[in-house]
Structure 1
C-alpha cells in the first residue's frame, strides 16, 4: 500500500519524493530535495510495482523531528504562522487545481495577485508545505533548531534491545528501532556497495547508508553536501553489523566482491572428489602442462643456457598413475600435448631405454587410450582434437578458464615434481624475485634436456609406487589388502572394476592427433604451403591430369615437412606423400621456416613492385623519346622516294647494303690494342663503297663465282 506523506528514495539516483495526494488511480508527489518542487503524478499501480520490485525504498521522513515550542524564537513563530495562514486561507481551497499541471500557473498568479506578492513567493511557500510534511511546523524557516513535526513512526516509542551506554552532553541517546523499512535499506546498501569489486569495507557501507538515508542535503558553492542527522535518529553501526550477519551470504559475497572463479577455486565446499566420476582405470585421464622451475643447458654446448623446459603429464584419475609424459621445448601448445598423448600409448620399457633407464613392464604398465580426457581449453579446443573425438571415440572435457583445481590430481603432481627439482637440481629457480647481490641461479644450469627427462622419469617411477595420502579407499580394496599406491590401484582396478582401457596402433594415434589442413591438387602435384608433393595413389588415379579433386584434407607434422599424409575416411589408414623434386630444397626445414621464407619472398616482391612501376614509366618515356627522335630525323631527310612502289622494291637491296656496313662495324678484331691503335681508322663511305664493289665486280675474272655468292647471300637473307 501507498500512503499520503510517505517518503520514498530512488535506488537508481537517490532522488527522494513525498506522496502528497492519492486520487482515484493516480498518485501525486514532489521532490523533497529541490529548491522548489511542483507536484507530478504517476499511476498508482505503476509506483506500487516499482516499490515491490525495490526500485523505490521507503525511508524515514527527513523532516520528522520533534520541535519544542518553547525553544522557538518569536521571529520563527511569526514566519511560521504567517505562511501557514497563507496556505490555509488561499491555497487549500484551490488544492485540486494546484495539483494539476494544466492551469496551475494561472491559479498561482491569481493567488499572488490576491496576496500582493510574486508568483515565485507563492511557489516557495507551496513547495515548503508539500516537501516538509504538510503540517504547521513544515513552514518553519531553516534555522539551526528548526524542524517539522511529521510522522515519527516508531521514533517516539522506547527503543528495544540493548540500551546504548554512550552519553552525549550528559544525556543517553537511545537510538532507533530497526524496522522492516530500515532492513530494506540495509539490504539495498549491501547489494549496492558491499557486493561490488570495489571491496568497500562494512564501515564504508555503513557510512554510505547514513549519507543516502539519514542526512540532510544542501548545496554549498554549487556542490551537493550532506549533514548527518543526530545520533538518536540514525541506526548504529552495531545494529547494521547485526543485520548484516543476518543477511550474509558467503557465496554471493565472494562471487560479487571477487569473482565466481575465485569462489569455485578457493572457497567452494569440498563435498566430493575426482574419483567419484570414475568406475575404474581408463575412465578419465587428466592432462596438463607446466614450465619446470629449472634452467637447462644445450646438449651440444654446456656453456649455452637454453631456458626452462615444458613438462606434460597424463594421469589416470582412478589410480593416480602417470600414464604419459613429455619433456621438451614445445608448448604449452598442441604439439606438446600431442607428444604427451603419443607417449601415453607408447611401450614404457622402450621409452625408458632411450634414456638409459632399465625397467620391466610391471613397473610402468600403461599404454592405453582412455574414455575421457580432461584438459585445458587452450590446447584441446580446436580442430586438432577432431580425430580423437570422431575416429578414436575419446571424449574431451575442457575445463573453464583459471580452474586448475578441476585437474587437481595432475596439478598437485606438478607441485611435487617442482619441489623435488628445487631441492636437488642445479639451475633450479629458488625464489621468484632475486634481491640485489643474490647469485643468479640461471648461471648454475647444468642439466641438458635428456638428463632432465631422465630425472622426471625417475620421479614418475617413484610416484607410481608411492602411497597416496587420503585416497578414498573402497571396502573391497581393504578386504583384498591393497596398499593405495598407483601401481596397486591400477592393477586392482583392471581386475575388479570395469574401466575403459583400450589399445591402439601408435601410427594410427599419430595420424589422428597430427594437425589437419587442406592441400590443393594441380597439374604440378599436391600443393601444400607452396610445396609440391606426390603419391603413388595420385599417379595411379591420374589426379594431376583429371583434377578430379581440387582440394583434399591432409595431416602433417610441422616439425618435418618431408612427408604429408592423406587419411582415409575412417581415420585408420593413410596414404604417404613425399616431396617432389622442385621442393626438395626444403626437405630439412621446419614448416614455420618454409612459411617464413615464402612470406619474406612475397614481401620482397611487393616492395620491388613499387620500384617496377617507376621503371616501367621510365622505359616508356625513353621509348617514346627514341621514336620521336627517329620521326624528326626522317622528316629532315633530303632524299625521299618519289613513289611508294620505288620505296617497297628497294627493301631487299637496302637490307644487303645495310648488312655489309653492319658487318664491318660488328666484326671481331683479336689483335692487341697496340697494333690496333697503329692501324689507321677506316671511314666507310656507303656511296663510294658501293661504286668500288661494282668496279671490282666488272674487273673480276670469275663472274660465275660472284653470282653464286650473291645468290647465297640472298638465300641466307630469306632465311633470316
Structure 2
C-alpha cells in the first residue's frame, strides 16, 4: 500500500476526541506520532498500514501543516541560538532517528545533554517537545510574544487594587468607578475634547465623590475620604487609553478635517500618472475680494468666485473662469470652456497680449478629471458633458484638499500673491469695511487672474520630482516646459473633435424671440451672419408674428449668441447699429443683469415719481377749472346770451 497519502509534518485529528497528533517520522513502514496540545513529550509508534486504514475509515482526519513563517526580532537571536544548539545536539546524537526517543531511551540522552550544556532537564524536554510538535520547524523555538498580553481585551478588575503597591492608597477600578469614568468620557466628547483634563477630573469629584452635610442649618459639601476617590493618575491613564491622540483630533475638529490633516500620505499625484493631460484637477474658491459693477462702481455686486483646472503631471493651469456663481454649473462650465479656448485670443479680449508658448493649452481635453462632491460636479449637466466627451470622472471625498493638492496649492499661491495688495479684501476684523473699499470689476479681476496664471505656469518648482526622462532631456521643473515635452513624448492628451460643438454643449441655455428687428434676447438685438436665413425669418414674423428661439450664450461676453438651425451651429452678433445695444458691447452678462436690475429699481422709483407728478398736475388743473366754473356761475344768463350773439356776429 502506498504511503503517498501521508507525509512527515501532517497533523492527524482523532474524530472521536478531536485530539491532534503530528507525524514526525515515517521509516520502514512505521510511523511515529507525537501528541499535540499537551505539555508532555508523548511519542507513539504505529504501523503505517494502520494509519492509512484509520484515515480511509475516517477514524482520523488529515490536516496539512499550516505553520507560517514568523517575522523575527534580532533581539531574540541569543535565546534562539541556545535552543537551536540543544536541539541540533540531540538530533546529531540519535542520527535523526526519532525511534531513540521512545520506550524510555531518551532519559539517558537528555541527562547527558543537560550536563554538557549546563541547562536543566525540564528545559530540554520542553523545547524538544515544542520542536517535534511544531513539525520540526526551527522557527517554533522563538518566543511568541505576539500571543501575550491580551491585546484588545478589556481588563477585568477585582475588589483588590491591581498592580504595584503605591505610596498613596488607590481605589480599585470596580464597576461603579468605571461607570463614573464613562460618564466623564461622554461629557468630554460632548464638549469636543476642549475641557482640560484637570477640570474634567474635578467635575467628576464634584458630581460623584462629594457628600452633603448639614452644618448650622446650612448644607455644606465635603469630599469623601481619599480612600474612596480614584486618583488623577488612574483617571488620566484610563482616559488616555480610551481616547488616543487621533481620536481626540477627530472629536475636536471633525472626521473630515481629521481625515485630511492626519491621513498618511503614502503617494503623490504623479503615482500612476502617465503624462500631461492624463488627469486634470478642478475646483473653485470663493476669493477674499469684493467686486463692483462695470457700469456703476458705487454698486457692489459680490465676492469673486475663481474656478481653476490644473494638470496633475505638469502642474500647468489649463483653464480658469471668474464669476459670482459659487458651487454652480454656470461657473464650472466656463472653466471647462476656457480649457479648450485659444489662450492668445482669450487674453486679447482682456487687453493682455501673450505669445502662444506662454500659455500653450488649447483644443485639448484630458483622459480623466478629479473633482470633489460639490453640487456643480454631481448635477446632470456635468455628467452629460463628461459622457459626451468620454472623460473619466474621479470623485474625491469632500473636505479633503490633500486628495486634490495641485489645485488647492494654486489657490494658496493666488492668495499669497494678492494679500494686502487689493482694495476690498476681506479681513477677519469687525471694522475692515471691505465692501466699501471694493474697487475692481469682473473684467479687471480677470486680468489679474490671467497675469497670475502666466506667472504660475512659468515659475520654477523647487520640489517637483523629475524622473530620469526629464533629467536626461534637460527639461526644467517649469510647468510650461514639462507640459510641452510631455505632450510631445507621451501623448496622453486628446484633441477636441469639433470645437464649435464642444463650446455649444457648455454654453448656458436661454430663450430668445425672432421679431422684425432681429433675434431679441434680454432686450438686445442680434443678427446672424447667414443673411438669407434671417431675411426669411424676418419676413415670416412680419406676417405671422414673433416666434421663440432656443439659444445659448457665453456668460463672459454679450457680443454673440449661438443657436442650432437644424444643420449647423449659427453665431448671431450684437447689432451695433441699434442704439439700445451700444452701451452693452464687450460686456459680461453678470454686469448686464445687475445693470438691468438697477434700471428696474430706477423705473419703479421713476413710475412712483411720475405718478406723484401727474397727480399734482391734475390737482392744479382741477383747481383752475373749478375757479373758472365759480366765476362763470356769478354772471347772469342774459349777459352770457348777449355775449354769445356778439361773438357770432364778429365771426360772421
Q: TM-score, normalised by structure 1?
A: 0.48
Map Cα deviations across residues 375-400 of structure 1 (whole Å, 9 max, x no partner).
57487687985884465455676777
Q: How do 1:348-427 residues align onto structure 2 when only pairs under 5 Å count?
A: 364=360, 367-374=363-370, 377=374, 388-389=385-386, 392=389, 403-415=400-412
Equivalent residue for 1:185, pick from 180, 185, 208 = 180
The verdict on how the C-alpha distance between 1:245 and 1:523 changes in structure 2, with shifts beyond 3 A counting, is same
1:638: how far off? 5.5
Q: Which has the larger radius of gyration?
A: 1
Instruction: Name the structure 2 match of 1:162.
Output: 164
Alignment CA distance shift 1:360-1:476 (3 Å): closer
TM-align CA RMSD: 6.0
The equivalent of 1:563 in structure 2 is 560
Given the superposition, is the C-alpha separation of residues 356 and 206 from structure 1 closer, same or farther in structure 2, using an over 3 Å criterion?
Answer: same
Query: Which residue does 1:262 correspond to in 2?
Result: 257
- Out of 260, 281, 285, the position equivalent to 1:286 is 281
CA distance in structure 2 between the aligned counterparts of 1:690 and 1:325, rounded to whole angstroms: 85
Q: Does 1:214 align with 2:246?
A: no
User: What is the 5 A alignment of 1:680-719?
Assistant: 687=645
Offset of 1:243 from its aligned partner?
1.5
Tell me the distance in 2 between the aligned counterparts of 1:617 and 1:222: 87
Maintained 8 Å contact 2:458/2:478: no
CA distance in structure 1 between the aligned counterparts of 2:268 and 2:546, rounded to whole angstroms: 52
Maintained 8 Å contact 1:196/1:256: no
The 1:400/1:632 distance shift into structure 2, 3 A limit, reads: farther
Aligned-partner Cα distance in 1 for 2:518–2:345 = 39
Return closer, same or farther for 1:215/1:331 CA change in 2, 3 Å cut-off: same
User: 1 CA distance for matches of 2:187 and 2:310?
Assistant: 45
Contact 2:513–2:519, Cα closer than 8 Å, also in 1 = yes
Q: 1:525 to 1:619 in 2, by over 3 A?
A: farther
Equivalent residue number for residue 199 of structure 2: 204
Match of 1:576 in 2: 572
Q: Which residue of 2 aligns with 1:607?
A: 608
Shift of 1:158: 3.8
Distance 2:371 2:205 in 1: 50
Structure 1: any 5+ residue segments left out of the alignment? 1-153, 167-173, 295-307, 435-441, 640-657, 662-683, 694-709, 711-720
1:460 aligns with 2:457: yes
Partner Cα separation in structure 2 for residue 229 and residue 692 of structure 1: 127
Distance 1:264 1:388 in 2: 31
- Whether the aligned pair in 2 keeps the contact of 1:375 and 1:396 (CA below 8 Å) is yes
Question: Which residue pairs with 1:598 in the alignment?
Answer: 599
Partner of 1:544: 541
Cα offset for 1:232? 1.0
Query: Equivalences for 1:581-660 in 2 at 5 Å?
Result: 581=578, 583-588=580-585, 591-592=592-593, 594-596=595-597, 598-608=599-609, 611=612, 614-615=615-616, 618=619, 625=626, 637=637
1:317-356 counterparts in 2 under 5 A? 317-324=312-319, 341-347=336-342
Deviation readout 1:168-190 (Å, 9 max, x if unpaired):
xxxxxx23211244334323321
Q: Is the 8 A contact 2:457 2:479 kept in 1?
A: no
Distance across 2 between alignment mates of 1:221 and 1:687: 121
Conservation of the 8 A alpha-carbon contact between 1:279 and 1:499 = yes
Aligned match of 2:239: 244
Distance apart, 1:408 and its partner CA: 0.7
The question of 1:518 aligning with 2:495 is answered no
- Residue 294 (structure 2) aligns with: none
* Structure 2 SS opposite 1:581: coil
**Deviation by residue 1:348-400 (Cα, 9 ceiling, x = unmatched):** 67889996765759x94664112444457487687985884465455676777
With over 3 angstroms needed to count, the CA separation of the structure-2 counterparts of 1:616 and 1:359, relative to structure 1, is: closer
Separation (CA, whole Å) in 2 of partners of 1:163 and 1:493: 70
CA–CA separation in structure 1 for the residues paired with 2:280 and 2:342: 18
C-alpha distance in 2, partners of 1:689/1:487?
97
Equivalents in 1 of 2:218, 2:571: separation in Å?
Answer: 80
CA distance in 2, matches of 1:334, 1:366: 21
Does residue 553 (structure 1) correspond to residue 550 (structure 2)? The answer is yes
Deviation at residue 428 of structure 1 after TM alignment: 13
Is the contact between residue 525 and residue 544 of structure 1 (CA under 8 Å) also seen in structure 2?
A: no
Looking at structure 2, the residues matched to 245 and 488 of structure 1 have their Cα atoms a distance apart, in angstroms, of 52
Q: 2:193, 2:248 within 8 Å by CA — same for their partners in 1? A: no
CA deviations 1:283-320 (Å, max 9, x no partner) are 431235679999xxxxxxxxxxxxx9998653212443
Superposed CA offset, 1:20-71 (max 9, x none): xxxxxxxxxxxxxxxxxxxxxxxxxxxxxxxxxxxxxxxxxxxxxxxxxxxx
Alpha carbons of structure 1 residues 627 and 385: separation in structure 2 relative to 1, 3 Å: farther
Secondary structure of the corresponding residue to residue 216 of structure 1: strand
- Structure 1 pair 534/599, CA: closer, same or farther in 2 (3 Å)? same
Task: For residue 194 of structure 2, give the secondary structure of its aligned residue in structure 1.
Answer: coil
SS of 2:572's equivalent in the other structure is: strand
**Counterparts in 2 of 1:230 and 1:527: CA distance versus 1, 3 Å:** farther
TM-score (structure 2 length as normaliser): 0.53
Give the match's secondary structure for 1:274.
coil
Q: Distance in 1 between matches of 2:271 and 2:393?
A: 18
Are residue 501 (structure 1) and residue 494 (structure 2) matched?
yes
Check whether the contact 2:276–2:487 (CA below 8 A) recurs between aligned residues: yes
The equivalent residue for 1:44 is none
Structure 2: 5+ residue stretches without partners: 1-156, 290-302, 430-436, 438-443
Once residues 179 and 224 of structure 1 are traced to their aligned partners in structure 2, the CA distance between those partners, rounded to angstroms, is 30
Counterpart pick for 1:234 among 216, 229, 234: 229
Q: Aligned pair in 2 of structure 1 residues 197, 526: CA closer, same or farther (>3 Å)?
A: farther
Distance in structure 2 (CA, Å) of the matches to 1:581 and 1:565: 19
Partner SS state of residue 178, structure 1: coil
Matches within 5 A, 1:462-477: 462-463=459-460, 469-470=464-465
- Give the 3-state SS of the residue equivalent to 2:260 in structure 1: helix
CA distance in 1, matches of 2:413, 2:643: 102
Over residues 105-144 of structure 1, what are the superposed CA-to-partner deviations in whole Å (9 max), with x where a residue is unaligned? xxxxxxxxxxxxxxxxxxxxxxxxxxxxxxxxxxxxxxxx
